[in-house]
Amino acid sequence: MELLIQNGIVVNADGRMQADVLVQGDRIAAVGAGLSCPGAARIDAEGCFVLPGFIDTHTHFDLDTGSARTADDFITGGRAALLGGTTAVLDFATQARGGTLQEAFDAWSEKARGCSCNYGFHMAIAQWDARTEAELPQMTRLGVTSYKLYMVYDGLRLDDGAIYAALKAAKREGALVGVHCENWDVLNRRIAEVKAAGFTGPTGHPRSRPAPVEAEAVARLMRIAELAEAPVSVVHLSTAEGLSEARRARARGQEVYLETCPQYLLLTEDCYAAPDGEKYVMSPPLRTEADKAALWAALAAGEIDYIGTDHCSFTMAQKRAYAHDFARIPNGGAGVQHRGQLLYTYGVCAGRITLEQMVQLLSAGPARCFGMDGRGAVAPGMAADVVVWDPGFTGVITDTGTAHNCDNSPFAGLAVRGRAREVLLNGQHVVAEGALIAPGCGRYIPRKGYGRCR
Ligand code: URP
Ligand code: ZN
């Protein structure tokens, strides 16, 4: 099957050019001016940008927290991702305490069957012991080359010694470890204090987890990684203070990667006082204008490596059931469909970052850091995961007008510009005029070790 994308402006992380793109099978065969290929199907990209498919470094599809199951699984989440131009997600396969990494890999592989976008797995380690450590080489063989460790949540969190040991072991495998950084013991004390002070609803959530709860944990992680002599990544960084701690570690010569999410760039803790404040309960919580400004500045300066959504969707009914007790509201929000539009509108169109930087953050950076060889650029030989981005589109995000299976979006009410008009996945035309025309075509992406990006 041959397909020719004509008349668009190809944008990669290192520049742009007016060029056609020839796709043969699942690969890009040529990029250049005036390409012709008799018999090839054609997409006219006049007035559009031609971008490498976006990679979402942080999704939770089909997650069962024990008390709530996410509204989205890989079918609905993958569909929403693809419609937003995200051609691959890295979801968190999660080890059960007492279970093995292989069991988690098998369970997530089963969950992901029929996904509409490509996918890989980070492996979340919930129990660090000799058996888990012995499984790491097998994970590498399966193409799982990144891990997630939690400093929070009973049933998931590891102590500092386990984090230290896991970082060392992952380094031996050439794997990158991402860590959820919050101080669990302190935040639980604060939850009790905040409730005792009368803040039992959603406004109690940010009070219980202020910036130092994240910053202390980032600082501690940085020192643990320094001692382990291992690279490390901070997932969903939300504060200026946490950023400062990561900068200090980099200044010491450490290899530190940073992820943030659209919600920390665009929303503030004022949301918790809204009538539907429970919608915004996620961890870490939304922050201040000053934190947002610091994160945007860090994006522009190239200090942040990738943007994931932390798509972890719960319905309003699931959230409202605990609106009177913020500590029990299911944590997380939907975002997988809108990451590209939000970054384009509030980053590129607002003049905060260039389109090339957006490609770096959404495609090239994640591909490199997470060992997704052959992805992250529109160039000959690369996988034909391609987005035709229409910059002329305008719209407003609503709670219900989305492709995911959730009745709310933290971004509802935000105006957006641009959309993924056409999407090619593994060389197949899967989104046309913004509609999904070929569902269920996603493939598992086995990954190599991470590529040093800093
Ligand atoms: O609130 C959030 N972010 N829920 C998802 C799980 C996590 O902590 O990443
Ligand atoms: Zn998450």
From residue 302, give the alpha-carbon distance in Å to each of 258, 259, 299, 355, 367: 10, 12, 5, 13, 16
| 408 close to ligand 1 (CB < 6 Angstrom) | no
The pLDDT assigned to 404 comes to 96
- Give the model confidence (pLDDT) of 393-432 as tens digits: 999 999 999 999 999 999 999 999 999 999 999 999 999 9
Please identify which residue in the block is written with the tokens 């006082």: 273
Residue of 69, 312, 318 to mutate, ligand 1, most atoms within 8 A of C-beta: 312
- The ligand that comes nearest to the alpha carbon of residue 58 is 2
Residue 60 CA: which ligand 1 atom is closest?
5
Handedness of CA 56, 61, 65, 71 (dihedral sign): positive
Question: pLDDT-based confidence at 239, cuts 50/70/90?
Answer: very high
pLDDT exceeds cutoff 90 at 450: no
- The ligand that comes nearest to the alpha carbon of residue 150 is 1
Superfamily of domain 54-369: Metal-dependent hydrolases (3.20.20.140)
Q: Nearest 5°: CA angle at 121, between 116 and 123?
A: 155
Q: Name the β-bridge partners of 431.
A: 423, 436
The pLDDT assigned to 1 comes to 83
Cβ atoms 395, 415 nearer than 8 A? yes
- Within a 10 A sphere around the Cβ of 266, how many other Cβ atoms? 19
Which protein residue's CA is at the shortest distance from atom 7 of ligand 1? 283
**How remote is the CA of residue 310 from the centroid of ligand 1, in Å?**
6
**How remote is the CA of residue 5 from the centroid of ligand 1, in Å?**
38
- What is the spatial distance between Cα 454 and Cα 420, in angstroms, rounded to a whole number? 30
Grouping H, G, I as helix, E, B as strand and the rest as coil, residue 149 is strand
Residue of 331, 336, 406 to mutate, ligand 1, most atoms within 8 A of C-beta: 331
In angstroms, the first-to-last Cα distance of the chain is 38
Domain residues of the chain, as ranges?
A: 2-51+377-391+416-436, 54-369
Give, as one character, the DSSP assignment of residue 153.
S
pLDDT exceeds cutoff 90 at 69: yes
Q: Are strands 49-52 and 386-396 parallel, antiparallel or unpaired?
A: antiparallel
Cβ atoms 116, 75 nearer than 8 A? yes
Grouping H, G, I as helix, E, B as strand and the rest as coil, residue 110 is helix
Cβ atoms 198, 230 nearer than 8 A? no
> Which residues in 293-311 are b (16+ Cβ under 10 Å) and which e?
ebbbebbeeebbbbbbbbb
- What is the spatial distance between Cα 221 and Cα 117, in angstroms, rounded to a whole number? 33
**How remote is the CA of residue 367 from the centroid of ligand 1, in Å?**
22
The pLDDT assigned to 40 comes to 97
pTM: 0.98
> What one-character-per-residue DSSP string does 47-94 give?
T-EEEEPEEEEEE--S-B-SS-B-S--HHHHHHHHHHTTEEEEEEEEE
Please identify which residue in the block is written with the tokens 């899967």: 430
In 3D space, the residue among 431, 327, 323, 336 whose CA is nearest the CA of residue 70 turns out to be: 336
- The ligand that comes nearest to the alpha carbon of residue 152 is 1
**How remote is the CA of residue 311 from the centroid of ligand 1, in Å?**
8
CATH of domain 2-51+377-391+416-436: 2.30.40.10
**How remote is the CA of residue 313 from the centroid of ligand 1, in Å?**
10
Q: Report the percentage of the chain scoring pLDDT > 90.
A: 98
Q: Nearest 5°: CA angle at 13, between 34 and 299?
A: 150
Structure tokens at 381: 């030989």
Residue of 149, 283, 287 to mutate, ligand 1, most atoms within 8 A of C-beta: 283
| 94 close to ligand 1 (CB < 6 Angstrom) | no
pLDDT exceeds cutoff 90 at 305: yes
**How remote is the CA of residue 305 from the centroid of ligand 1, in Å?**
19
Which protein residue's CA is at the shortest distance from atom 2 of ligand 1? 332
Which protein residue's CA is at the shortest distance from atom 5 of ligand 1? 332
- Give the model confidence (pLDDT) of 124-166 as tens digits: 999 999 999 999 999 999 999 999 999 999 999 999 999 999 9
Question: pLDDT-based confidence at 335, cuts 50/70/90?
Answer: very high
